A = this chain, B = another copy of it.
Amino acid sequence: MRGKFAEEYLPDVTVDVVLLSVAPDGALQTLLTRRMNEPHKGLFALPGVFVGRRESLQEAARRALRDKGGLTDVFLEQLFTSGEPDRDLRGRIVSVAYFALVPIANIEERFATAADTQIVRITIPWTGEKGGPVRAISARGASVDLAFDHSEIIGGAIKRLRGKLNYTPLGFELLPKNFTLYDLQRIHEAILGRALNKDSFRRRILASGFVEDTKKKQTHTAHRPAVLYRLKKGR
């Protein structure tokens, strides 16, 4: 039954992608797809694919994002590889998780509302970098059960993101090219799950050397417009 399949794919290696985005209201969101086959048929799961024989792991992750979320040019980083023997009834499956970061504006409406995909909000029942499973809430406010250990994997992505946010440019991947410092602060607050001090956040970001002034300002605000910054090249 698997003859043709085994020629084109590694029969026991899959890639799953945790796509994270921050909504305008500050909620963390991720993309899920409905499983069409056993095991866990009907449940929602992270978008995933079997790894092709002539394809790197990262290429497989990009293919999953393209085919199941219509996304290209996305930040990707490898997360963790799971391989408990009893994880999947189809036989022994080793699955490499990636996490992806994308500005909320880049997600096409049709993927958020299609029959077999949805964007869910994530709530995190732990603080700091403790880690553990998270809860997924559908757009209608219902709790969404996840297949496999995918709730734990999403938690791992957030844990990793929290750990690296302060000394890497990861936060910028969730913003458009130009942004205000307060936009960036809201991204950081969404990821860290707590309010940040405005003054020292500004100082820290400006001192980090990651951003540069675009010499432009917001327009059409009902208040003093903020300076727009962009990620500094070559860092």
Contacts and interface: CB of A to CB of B under 8 A. Distances in A.
Interface of A: 10, 12-13, 51, 53-57, 78, 80-85, 92, 94, 96
Given A10-B12, A13-B13, A94-B10, A56 B78 contact: no
A81 B97 CA distance: 10
Contact of A96 (B55, B83, B84, B92): B83
Contact of A54 (B57, B80, B85, B94): B85
Nearest to A55: B85
A79 to B, nearest CB: 10
A57 B95 CA distance: 11
Nearest to A59: B85
Given A80-B78, A81-B78, A83-B51, A57 B13 contact: no
Contact of A56 (B54, B80, B83): B83
A92 B53 contact: yes
Nearest to A97: B81
7 contacts: A10-B94, A51-B83, A54-B85, A57-B82, A57-B83, A57-B94, A81-B96
Contacts of A56: 83-85
Assembly of this chain: how many copies? Answer: 2
A10 B51 CA distance: 14
Contact of A13 (B55, B78, B82, B94): B94
A55 B92 CA distance: 9
B57 A81 contact: yes
A81 B81 CA distance: 7
A85 B54 CA distance: 6
A10 B14 CA distance: 13
A94 B96 CA distance: 10
A55 B54 CA distance: 26
A181 B94 CA distance: 41
Contact of A83 (B13, B80, B84, B92): B13
Given A78-B80, A80-B78, A81-B81, A10 B54 contact: no
A81 B197 CA distance: 38
A166 to B, nearest CB: 12
Nearest to A52: B85
Nearest to A60: B83
Contacts of A10: 12, 92, 94
